[in-house]
Amino acid sequence: MKKLTLAEWEKHYIAEPLTQFDQIHTMTRRVYADRQMKELLESLSDPVTYNDKPGFFQKEYAVRWAPRYLHAQIAELNNSKVNPSQLSVTISKIIQESKGALSYVPGEVKDKHHDTPENAAGLVKKIAKFYGADLVGIAPLQDRWIYSHTCERTEGGSSYTYEKQDIPEEIKYTVVMGFAPGYNILKYARTYIAGAGHDEASTRMVVTSALMTQFLQNLGYKAIDCNIDDVVISVPLAMLAGLGQLGRHGMLITPQFGPRIRLGVVLTSLPVSIDTPIDFGVTEFCGVCKKCARMCPSQSIPFGERNTVPNNISNAPGGIKWYHNAATCRIRAVTHKYPCSTCITVCPYNKPDTLFHQAVRWFTDHARWGDRFYSWMDDFCGYGKVKKPDNFWNEWRPEDK
Ligand code: SF4
Ligand code: SF4
């Protein structure tokens, strides 16, 4: 694995100076802020519930929606953002006005144990792991990764807010944390079962991000919990924090978990030393592999070379990459009434972090001329298949992750 200088990273991924992207153009916001898209999705959507097919039983629906509902609720409580929701402000006020254990007093900067950026980074990384992160890295915060405006659905969902986002100048760092869903549960892509895997990790992500934010504020520093892509674009920050590289499917690929990772980001004014971007051969391997593009049921992943041409307004322009079509991916999800994530499940980098798979990764990193062979071997060994959910409850061992 090679460490990249920032100049090398820029040359590899950036085509032109980037301007700030507007959150209203992301698919998570277009579902309610883009009238045409909203009407289209509403015309395709029925209330999603369970049925009598394996992967869609009531217990599978229940195991998926428990974490999904919870992380949506926790995300609503986030009042650390520059433009918090009215609901989070109200709840925070109620808590602050209550007595006893909940009468929290913000800290001041007094403790000198973290007085060098290196010590502070070490402290933050330990705390991230303690609170539940599988991976953690630190990147500098730059304007180009911050959404120019924020867009939030208001209570009742019939309208939305649209506000300029100005992050305080003293906030210069991002703590990027990774949360891995279980390998064994994600094999059952295109069912509620794999959805449960993603949502369990997302719940750990929102809880850990909230805890990290509170921890930094208790030390007396500013901290903003970015929740699920609420404030910044998380994938380039994760790359700059040394967590991984960008894959053909538009997601971060990490050495430890491949693309099987959820990203939580906390911004802070605590001076911390930053990490270095890495290169372990992902761009070259994706160049020959294309398995996610072949298996994508909505043809949302391109087959060609990396380029600089966005698909539609939901792609932030200016990068050299494979532009994933988030609109067709979303339309498919709504039309078929179940989550997909096939591209994550079938990706050859999605493997348990065992000695054997570490050895394979060594070859894909150090002998890149063999990428076609490794890709063929992955298929030959029977990896990268979506598993049928018929016998899930007997096969699944949650402790095996
Ligand atoms: S499936 Fe293959 S082409 Fe797609 S992201 Fe994974 S390694 Fe890259
Ligand atoms: S989630 Fe499914 S539809 Fe969307 S890009 Fe991945 S494989 Fe394609």
Backbone angles phi, psi at 188, to 5 degrees: -90, 55
Tokens describing residue 192: 């509620």
For residue 339, the CA-to-ligand 1 centroid distance in Å is 19
CA 243/CA 72 separation, integer angstroms:
25
Tokens describing residue 282: 């992902």
Domain spans, the chain: 2-88+117-387
SS (H, E, C) 119-169: HHHHHHHHHHHHHCCCEEEEEECCHHHECCEEEEECCCCCCEEEEECCCCC
Write down the residue that tokens 């050495």 correspond to.
Answer: 255
Q: Whose CA is nearest to atom 1 of ligand 2?
A: 341
Q: Which atom of ligand 2 is nearest to the CA of 250?
A: 5
Report yes or no: 291 and 348 within 8 Å, Cβ to Cβ.
Answer: yes
Report yes or no: 379 and 295 within 8 Å, Cβ to Cβ.
Answer: no
Measuring CA to CA, which residue among 275, 245, 264, 259 is closest to residue 207?
A: 264
For residue 108, the CA-to-ligand 2 centroid distance in Å is 46
Q: Whose CA is nearest to atom 3 of ligand 2?
A: 329
For residue 239, the CA-to-ligand 1 centroid distance in Å is 17
CB atoms within 10 A of CB 341: 22
For residue 298, the CA-to-ligand 2 centroid distance in Å is 7
> DSSP readout, 93-106?
HHHHHS-GGG----
Q: Whose CA is nearest to atom 7 of ligand 1?
A: 286
HSE-up (13 A, CA, CB side) for residue 175: 33
Report yes or no: 140 and 173 within 8 Å, Cβ to Cβ.
Answer: yes
| DSSP code at position 307 | B
The residue ranges of DSSP E strands in 231-340, in sequence order, are 245-246, 252-253, 262-268, 278-279
Which stretch of DSSP H or E encloses residue 27? helix 27-33
User: Which residues touch 393 (CB under 8 Å, ≥6 apart)?
Assistant: none
CA 230/CA 76 separation, integer angstroms:
11
User: Which residues touch 276 (CB under 8 Å, ≥6 apart)?
Assistant: 3, 4, 5, 242
User: In whole angstroms, how far apart are CA 104 and each of 91, 96, 131, 214?
Assistant: 14, 7, 19, 10
Q: What is the pLDDT of residue 362?
A: 87
Report yes or no: 191 and 338 within 8 Å, Cβ to Cβ.
Answer: yes
Nearest bound ligand to the CA of residue 335:
2
Helices (H), 337-385: 342-346, 355-366, 371-380
Hey, is 301 helix, strand or coil? coil
Per-10-residue mean pLDDT for the chain, 401 residues long?
Answer: 95 94 95 93 82 92 93 88 86 75 65 82 97 98 96 81 95 98 94 95 96 93 89 97 98 96 97 97 96 96 96 94 95 84 95 84 86 85 88 89 71
Helices (H) and strands (E) in the chain, counts: 16, 10
Q: What is the pLDDT of residue 112?
A: 65
How do strand 2-3 and strand 278-279 relate by DSSP bridges? Answer: antiparallel
Task: Identify which of 186, 289, 290, 301 to mutate to test ligand 2's pocket (most ligand atoms within 8 A of the CB).
Answer: 301
The binding-site residues of ligand 2, defined as CB within 6 angstroms of any ligand atom, are 249, 296-298, 300-301, 329, 332, 340-343
CA 360/CA 372 separation, integer angstroms:
13
Report yes or no: 318 and 14 within 8 Å, Cβ to Cβ.
Answer: yes
Measuring CA to CA, which residue among 347, 349, 329 is closest to residue 384?
A: 347
Measuring CA to CA, which residue among 252, 250, 274 is closest to residue 261?
A: 252
CA 297/CA 342 separation, integer angstroms:
8
For Cα atoms 299, 226, 71, give the angle at the middle one, nearest 5 degrees: 75
